[in-house]
Amino acid sequence: MLKIDIINETRENIRQSDLEKYVKAVYCLLFEDIKKSHLEISFVSKVKIAKLNKQYLHHLGPTDVLSFPNADHGHTPIKSIGSVVICPKYLIEHQENIKEVILHGMIHLAGYDHVSNPKEWDLKIISIKNELPKI
């Protein structure tokens, strides 16, 4: 069971129920061995994501998505797999698809990295897209 917290700090209209279905489908493919877990998805301004981008990745300016995996904190019944932070305004300006960006963030939470291992990343993307139901 996945508990999803969707936090919208922007004025953008986020269709949470559609996103929850998609996130749960991706979760089942990426984290099938985790029975109870928690995921936070936050929608933030360009200013906020730029600050996070600089603070954690040392990159200047806004970006589409950042992922923050959580370390395992003991033997609790619910494991937090992490947080995905998205900037809707950036997505709109760059004509990016919100589901693609969520998938990107969640794959990072599962431990994949497109910079250090692009081939493994690409194979995982293809695999998930082939297995995902049309949502």
Helices 16-30 and 118-131 pack at an angle, to 10 degrees, of: 120
Q: Any idea what the CATH number is for the domain that residue 65 is in? A: 3.40.390.30
Non-local CB neighbours of 25 within 8 Å, separated by 6+ positions: 132, 133, 135
Kindly report whether the global pTM for this prediction surpasses the value 0.85: yes
Query: Which residue range forms the structural domain that includes residue 116?
Result: 2-131
Domain total for the chain? 1
Measured distance CA(110)–CA(102) in Å, rounded: 12
Measured distance CA(37)–CA(109) in Å, rounded: 13
- pLDDT bin (cut points 50, 70, 90) of residue 121 is very high
Tokens for 84? 């995905």
The mean per-residue pLDDT over the stretch 127-133 comes to: 89
Tell whether the model's pLDDT for residue 71 goes beyond 80: no
Contact in structure between 89 and 47 (CB atoms under 8 Å): no
Walk across the sheet containing 37-43 and list its strands.
2-8, 37-43, 79-86, 65-69
User: At which residue do the structure tokens 């004509």 appear?
Assistant: 95
